[in-house]
Amino acid sequence: MSAPPLLELAAVHKRFGGLHAVNDVSFGVPAGSIKALIGPNGAGKTTLFNLIAGNLPVSAGTIRFQGRDIQGSRPHRIARLGMARTFQNIKLFHGMTALECVMVGRHVQSRAGFFSGLLALPSTWREERAIRARSLELLDLLGIADCADIEATSLAFGQQRAVEMARALAAEPKLLLLDEPAAGLNIYETAEVARLIRRIRDLGITVLLVEHDMSLVMDISDEIVVLSFGRTIAEDRPEAIQQHPEVIRIYLGADDEPAETAGATGKAAAPC
């Protein structure tokens, strides 16, 4: 008997007033896999991420993570269970270095409380040093260790996305949700993102990815779910998705280049 999926959605619905943004979506994400969620603009991909991460309540259906029903749990509780995410629009703090941004992500798992921080207890210092060391390791893993002391928002787009991923990884997640990690990146930066996602999977972290860049998706995904107007229209391996008539009609054949990636060049990924 195969192991239950790490993440499992069953008949999930989300309505915004009269709009059925997510309509009866069910799928599983096997542990150790890279699964992609694709679909045209407005298909409901980010909404689904918000439901999974607890940023929005579901209208109906269930979401199970590691076999546990996480419906109604607050985002920080879900994060503590081992789920981390990056956002469609890069969210880095102004005035913080790349290293500090990653250290913030690590504090999700930190045991040092607010009062011990105020009292500057030796145990807090030790933990802070460990957090710093682990954050540097993660920047190194993502190939941007040289950027550690540079203000994160001044980095090239590709490097900012790597900082976001490092920040998410700092929470030591079992499942990483990536919302359009290649948006706005040039082809070299996109190839680097593909390499990083594989490296993350090889660390044993399961990845659920939303992405418009089809070559990236087809290249790295074990399985793909296709959404259109909130509904699942296909779920299969990349080779089968590429041949799926409905997918070709509504998505792959719709445009030569999706609107969000068209014309997006991003800044060159210059070394720090």
Ligand X SMILES: Nc1ncnc2c1ncn2[C@@H]1O[C@H](COP(=O)(O)OP(=O)(O)OP(=O)(O)O)[C@@H](O)[C@H]1O
| Token pair in block for residue 17 | 């007033």
Binding mask 76-115 for Mg ion (x = CB under 5 A): ------------x---------------------------
Interface pick for ligand X out of 6, 7, 9, 21 (rule CB under 6 A): 21
Instruction: Check: CB of residue 165 under 8 Å from CB of residue 196.
Output: yes
Q: Is 243 exposed, middle or buried (0-12, 13-18, 19+ CB in 10 A)?
A: exposed
- Cβ-proximal residue to Mg ion, closest one: 46
Interface pick for ligand X out of 7, 35, 36, 46 (rule CB under 6 A): 46
b/e 13-35 (16+ beta carbons within 10 angstroms → b): bbeeeeebbbbebebbbbbebbb
266 touches ligand X by CB under 6 A: no
Q: Nearest distance from residue 13's CB to ligand X, in Å?
A: 12
Instruction: Check: CB of residue 66 under 8 Å from CB of residue 21.
Output: no
Q: In the complex with ligand X, which residue's Cβ is closer, 51 or 200?
A: 51
Instruction: Check: CB of residue 35 under 8 Å from CB of residue 43.
Output: no
CB neighbours (10 Å) of residue 105? 24
Q: What are phi and psi of 221, to 5 degrees?
A: -85, 145
Q: Nearest distance from residue 260's CB to ligand X, in Å?
A: 6
71 touches ligand X by CB under 6 A: no
209 touches ligand X by CB under 6 A: no
**Strand arrangement, sheet containing 175-179:** 83-86, 175-179, 206-210, 34-38, 223-228, 231-236
Number of residues lying near Mg ion (CB under 5 A): 3
54 touches ligand X by CB under 6 A: no
Q: In the complex with ligand X, which residue's Cβ is closer, 124 or 261?
A: 261
- Binding partner at 93 among Mg ion, ligand X, none, C-beta below 5 to 8 Å by kind: none
44 touches ligand X by CB under 6 A: yes
Interface pick for Mg ion out of 5, 7, 46, 53 (rule CB under 5 A): 46
User: CA torsion sign, 31 to 35 to 269 to 169?
Assistant: negative
Interface pick for ligand X out of 88, 109, 110, 116 (rule CB under 6 A): 88
- Binding partner at 39 among ligand X, Mg ion, none, C-beta below 5 to 8 Å by kind: ligand X
Q: In the complex with ligand X, which residue's Cβ is closer, 145 or 264?
A: 264
42 touches ligand X by CB under 6 A: yes
Q: In the complex with ligand X, which residue's Cβ is closer, 130 or 259?
A: 259
> Which residues face 208 on adjacent strands?
35, 177
Q: CA 29, CA 35: separation in Å to the nearest integer?
A: 7
**Chain residues in the site for ligand X (CB under 6 A):** 16, 19, 21, 39, 41-47, 88
